[in-house]
Amino acid sequence: MKKFLIALVMAALPMAASAAGGAKGHLDEMDVDLHNQASLQRGMQTFVNYCLGCHSAEFQRYERAALDLGMNPELVAEHLIFGDHKVGEQMTISMDKGDAGKWFGNPPPDLTLEARLRGPDWLYTYLRSFYADESRPWGVNNAVFKDVGMPNVLGPLQGEVVASCSWEEMNAHGLRGEGIDPLTNKPLTTCTSVKKGTGELSTEEFDALVYDLVNFMVYMGEPSKLDSQRIGTYVLIFLFLFFFLAYALKKEFWRDVH
């Protein structure tokens, strides 16, 4: 019994650890859907157009992504690869890490495994949580990443976000103040507003764009997940059928014994 209890505690430990490390301000949730190929394709397009200028994805090859996401590698080579990369190569960039460190304070990290490091909810919130802050070098701050060194590259699509409460409040309640305050049980008030210009996306369109982008980043963090889910289904079907075979065989063997 004692051993059983120890085993139970050990099994529950990782859960406690992730719960302690995970809670950092308010995060908007998103449901990752790796079966939505159209979303993953749009996400890759956004990633290549808006992120690959500064961030590499060194462990991801263009060709593998094209094949996994149901795209023709030749079309990907034609439309999604800038510079002299070949479709079989990794998604590297030519920006020097040392220079980038000087320009931005911190160099832009490689993003191949970022979704596994931070989790999809954090990414989804981070990319939608930049707001105007004149005291920062790029004129923006971020509600989940205080004093971030990254400029708001999706700003022209989202529109300028103006904040009317402190960073701590936004971090605790989320940039849009959505949801229910756990202390007072009342709906949260919004502490930001979005100034739009022309040619920008609506809030829903922008959220959808970031959703697709994060979906793609989750795929990139574990490209074989799609395969393993598919193979897993076959394995379960096989085990189900094999059960009947094994059972019939057992009956046959034991018939003479009884």
Tell me the window of 122-130, 157-165, 222-230, 248-256 that interacts with ligand HEC (CB under 6 A).
122-130
User: For 187, which DSSP code?
Assistant: B
55 binding ligand HEC? (CB under 6 A): yes
Question: Which x/- pattern over 167-206 shows residues binding ligand HEC (rule: CB under 6 A)?
Answer: ----------------------------------------
Options 53, 179, 187, 232; binder of ligand HEC; rule CB under 6 A: 53
Site for ligand HEC in 139-158 (CB under 6 A): 148-151, 153-154
CA pair distance 192, 185, nearest whole angstrom: 21
Stretch that binds ligand HEC, among 19-27, 69-77, 116-124, 182-190 (CB under 6 A): 116-124
- Of 157, 158, 143, the closest CA to residue 191 belongs to 143
CA dihedral over 35, 204, 176, 194, signed as positive or negative: positive
State how far the Cα of 33 lies from the Cα of 40, in Å rounded to an integer.
9
Residues with Cβ within 8 Å of residue 113, at least 6 apart in sequence:
59, 221
Looking at the Cβ atoms of 123 and 143, the one nearer to ligand HEC is: 123
Cα(184)–Cα(221) distance, integer angstroms: 38
Q: Are 171 and 25 within 8 A, CB to CB? A: yes
Does 118 engage in binding with ligand HEC (CB under 6 A)? yes
Of 25, 43, 108, 223, the residue at the interface with ligand HEC (CB under 6 A) is 108
Interface with ligand HEC by CB under 6 A: which residues? 50-51, 53-55, 104-106, 108-109, 111, 114, 117-118, 123, 126-127, 148-151, 153-154, 213
